[in-house]
Amino acid sequence: MRSIAFRQALREAMQEEMRKDQRVFLMGEEVAQYNGAYKVSQGMLDEFGAKRVIDTPIAELGFAAIGVGAAMNGVRPIIEFMTWNFAVLAFDQIVNSAAKTRAMSAGQFGCPIVFRGPSGSAGQLGAQHSQAFESWMANVPGLKVISVSNPYDAKGLLKSAIIDDDPICFFESEMMYGDMGEVPEEEYYIPIGKADVKRSGTDVTIISFNKMMKVALGAAEELAKENISAEVIDLRTIRPLDMATIVESVKKTNRCVIVEEAWPFGSVATEISFCLQRDAFDYLDAPVRRIMTADSSMHYAPNLVEAFLPSVAKTVKVVKEVMYR
């Protein structure tokens, strides 16, 4: 199987769906003439033209609103945010319009739109450009939330998102666009709402998503050196959340550690922890533990970035605590 970059996998997903369906178009800052801020849309302007690959001003609320209105009228926009940190300006359209259109119109209008772009930290970018938004968007009924960790999942899930009839928030990472991974040349789709067991294990379940999967898998490698067998689950979809896969794993391992790049209060990990005590309490041999970011803004200094984020070392430490408590 060929190996391609994360950005190419996303590009192929959009290209394939745009070739099949004239209603699909891409709109966002620098997506056209500049070939995308991260070169995800490279070459798409040449192929599809300026009516379907559309550069916008730096006005997230405005072009998100255009996308929502277009989706309500029968087309399928892909709205690219240069970063989800900038999408805060468009939350009114995502939360109050896209998410609520179907319910408030009693099903008369749908809103098949994909909002996509990078989320979370990306090195020394400071407090205003380093926030993770998966838990924010997953809190909103009417939205589906996808957060991917590798090229294969990125392509298959983006294709599924584009053809879905609901509004979808799709999260990537600036630090993964150059990551290489195996992606088949033939067309494929990955179902929305299905987690994936990336590594089988028997002693502890480690759950994560997006670039924190690197931390989870790295920790599993280190733990294996000490004969601790970790099962690693990539959520892939945050809403709907695949609790069945999580519960099945915890029933086998009897322990659970969640790694998430987000503030602890009201996080995805918080929801999973609640669901596990409801659905798998009798199987737990130790409390569910979380490795989160610090409960603060992320500062610029590299030592503070390191202190802020989850890491392999922090994860290994917590896993040992639930193993040997």
Which residue among the candidates 12, 17, 29, 60 is catalytic per the annotation? Answer: 60
- Catalytic option among 12, 129, 174, 231: 129
Contact predicate 10/43, CB 8 Å? no
Per the annotation, the verdict on 60 as an active-site residue is: yes
Contact in structure between 323 and 228 (CB atoms under 8 Å): yes
Cα–Cα distance measured from residue 134 to residue 238, given in angstroms and rounded to the nearest whole number: 7
The answer to whether residue 129 is catalytic is: yes
* Catalytic residue positions, numbered: 60, 129
